[in-house]
Amino acid sequence: MTTHKIAVIAGDGIGKEVVPAAIECLERIAGIHSLSLEFTYFGWGSDYYSRHGRMMPLDGLEQLALHDAIFLGAVGSPDVPDAESLWGLLIPIRREFRQYINLRPVKTLDGVRSPLASTEPIDILIVRENNEGEYSEVGGRVYRGLPHEAAVQETIFTRLGVSRAAHFAASLAATRKGRLTSATKSNGIIHTMPFWDEVVEETTRLYPGVTLTSELVDALAAHLVLKPWTLDVIVASNLLGDILSDLGSSVTGSIGVAPSANLNPEGDYPSLFEPVHGSAPDIAGKGLANPVGQMWSGAMMLDHLGFPVAARHLQEAFESALREGLGTRDVGGPSSTSEFTAAVLAAIDAIELPAEADLLISGMPSAPAAAAAPS
Ligand code: NAI
Ligand code: MG
């Protein structure tokens, strides 16, 4: 049996609550499906920062590179500037490990109340470009403290970066309803965004079964609220994808259920799996955190490691606990984090899965889709 080595960074705030909850479920699933998962815990994050002045050790990336996947909770603390926590840990991992795809499923689940009046099911995959775009280090500040102080921040789009995100999104759309929506703002941002549009359009032409619609992001935000069920796959730049995925998860009910995968599709480096939400200092330590986003990210990790049946089993289990009305407070349920986790563990034991599982159940692309992206 091959052992899969998983680096675990619970991080800060509710990361320390939802990660152990999800790992308990992953271990139960691993036992049932005879998987060998080896978890190694790294106590990096804001506490580490307060002791060492950095979010992770100097050789942190080298240590992580020895693993098959990374399972992360959240980083961010009121005591550490957010730019330090993000640029000291998560962004270096995403960039150095070329995790250029951030895949974020947005899906209605039974037992999770949507704030929308409509009960039409929503099932969207957001493909966020994860390595470049608006989150760039190019820029600076001049004349600090003077009346004419100025700040400049450059957006970087490369043909390689945009086309590989578009390839990934179009190949996913080809396995679904064939509808790809590209988030743009080329009316206001006149250099980078028309370039984004051109490259996405050229790339999508290679997928004859896929229809591309380019939507201005302000209109797309309204679309996500008014008729989200008409959307299939969205491809978006780093910033726009970040914003749209928080909006999408809120439209389906709660940011607490939203999962994500930071993928290096070529498999040259470990990919990272984390919920969309942050460390939620407002509810940390109170047992209120919803662990579904972390558990669902765990299911995506199982899929990525080549265990689609186990992934489906975990997904079925938390969906069944939600369906029974046992969710946490943010989804209108009565449970604490640990009560909900106990319900999921019971569901894992109770569920009998059919032998043939649907390979796309957790929203992860199958291997051929991932391989379609150019290197
Ligand atoms: P947040 O996602 O932590 O919280 C936003 C709101 O959603 C809060 O009211 C929170 O209580 C609620 N919420 C979030 N996750 C929940 C869950 N699992 N269950 C129930 N309720 C949940 O975003 P916020 O407040 O903007 O950021 C807090 C910190 O997290 C900041 O330091 C920020 O930089 C960091 N952050 C880190 C991320 C990461 O590690 N990937 C992503 C986003 C924010
Ligand atoms: Mg975000």
**pLDDT tens-digit profile of 259-295?**
999 999 999 999 999 999 999 999 999 999 999 999 9
- The Cα–Cα gap between 286 and 191 comes to 47
Does ligand 1 have an atom closer than 6 angstroms to the CB of 90? yes
- Decide: 88 and 49 in contact? Cβ < 8 Å: yes
pTM, to two decimals: 0.93
Q: Where are the domains of the chain?
A: 1-103+258-375, 114-252
pLDDT at 228: 97
Per-residue pLDDT band for 367 (boundaries 50, 70, 90) equals very low
For residue 94, pLDDT beyond 80 = yes
Q: Please write the tens of the pLDDT for every residue from 250-266.
A: 999 999 999 999 999 99
- At the fourth CATH level, the homologous superfamily of domain 114-252 is Isopropylmalate Dehydrogenase (3.40.718.10)
Measured from the Cα of 72, ligand 1's closest atom is 40
For residue 208, the CA-to-ligand 2 centroid distance in Å is: 32
Cβ contacts of 147 within 8 Å, gap of 6 or more: none
Query: Where in the sequence numbering do the catalytic residues fall?
Result: 143, 185, 218, 242, 246
Amino acid at 357: A
Residue owning the nearest CA to atom 5 of ligand 1: 280
- Decide: 181 and 234 in contact? Cβ < 8 Å: yes
Q: What kind of architecture, by CATH, is found in domain 1-103+258-375?
A: 3-Layer(aba) Sandwich (3.40)
Does ligand 1 have an atom closer than 6 angstroms to the CB of 74? yes
Q: Tokens 């009565």 correspond to what residue?
A: 334
Does ligand 1 have an atom closer than 6 angstroms to the CB of 365? no
> What are the C-alpha distances in Å from 326 to residues 120, 253, 333?
22, 15, 6
- The Cα–Cα gap between 257 and 332 comes to 13
Best probe residue, ligand 1, of 104, 255, 339, 341 (max atoms within 8 Å of C-beta):
255
Biggest CA-to-CA distance, the chain: 69
For residue 118, the CA-to-ligand 1 centroid distance in Å is: 26
> What are the C-alpha distances in Å from 238 to residues 198, 258, 262, 266, 303?
17, 17, 12, 20, 24
Does ligand 1 have an atom closer than 6 angstroms to the CB of 224? no
Same fold, 1-103+258-375 and 114-252: yes
* Beta-bridge mates of residue 156: 133
Q: Please write the tens of the pLDDT for every residue from 214-244.
A: 999 999 999 999 999 999 999 999 999 999 9
Handedness of CA 65, 304, 231, 292 (dihedral sign): negative
